[in-house]
A and B are shown apart, each in its own frame.
Chain A
Amino acid sequence: AQSVTQLGSHVSVSEGALVLLRCNYSSSVPPYLFWYVQYPNQGLQLLLKYTSAATLVKGINGFEAEFKKSETSFHLTKPSAHMSDAAEYFCAGGYQKVTFGTGTKLQVIP
């Protein structure tokens, strides 16, 4: 069965610090991977997606993610956190059906 796993349900960073949110996928997941963001009381919106064209994927709001097949990972990073980045982030992957991770809440400390 395909699945994605997010490590860490809560992550806190200082404003201006590096953001690193971790996602690993099962080996049966094809290389269609996504990161979504959910701001409070809103639906999810796409940050970026990997579709095998390039291993480093750039998304909106300065986020990027690197696909590493050897590590079965698709971690999300941002060089410098901003207060407006506080939200819940979901890694997802799938083919016919998309499987979502359990989410990571990012807190940005001023």
Chain B
Amino acid sequence: DVKVTQSSRYLVKRTGEKVFLECVQDMDHENMFWYRQDPGLGLRLIYFSYDVKMKEKGDIPEGYSVSREKKERFSLILESASTNQTSMYLCASSSGTMYRGNTEAFFGQGTRLTVV
């Protein structure tokens, strides 16, 4: 089975802290994604990566950055956490070349981040 593992299920951080959310997939997938999920807003894409060291902005990249140094690992970084970044964060991966959207995404369990 494909496994996408997020390092933490729950995190509580203070305003202004630098926060790292880690995601690892074990299926050699080319594509990896970070979404945030908020009630009534569904999933919104923050960043995605289609290869090692490659990244592209999604719909809401402000306040976030990402790192993909190895194919299996995709990190989301909150440079200076703010209370409006309190949310559920979901990592996903998928196979295929960048321009083929017909492959399913496999999701991690999510990290519920609270910024106080």
Contacts and interface: CB of A to CB of B under 8 A. Distances in A.
Given A44-B107, A97-B45, A97-B48, A49 B40 contact: no
Contacts of A97: 45, 48, 58, 101
Given A9-B40, A100-B43, A30 B108 contact: no
A44 B42 CA distance: 12
Give the interface size class of chain B. Answer: 20 to 34
Interface string A87-98: 000100111111
A94 B101 CA distance: 6
B58 to A, nearest CB: 7
A43 B102 contact: no
Interface residues of A, number: 26
A43 B104 contact: no
Interface string B83-106: 000000010100000110110110
Interface string A6-23: 100100000000000000
Contacts of A49: 102, 104
B98 A51 contact: no
A97 to B, nearest CB: 6
Interface string A77-110: 0000000000000100111111111110000000
B4 interface: yes
Nearest to B98: A96
A43 B41 contact: no
A100 B110 CA distance: 16
B42 A43 contact: no
A103 to B, nearest CB: 5
B109 interface: yes
Which 9 pairs across A and B sit closest by C-beta, in order of nearness? Answer: A43-B107, A102-B42, A100-B43, A95-B101, A32-B101, A44-B107, A46-B104, A51-B102, A32-B102
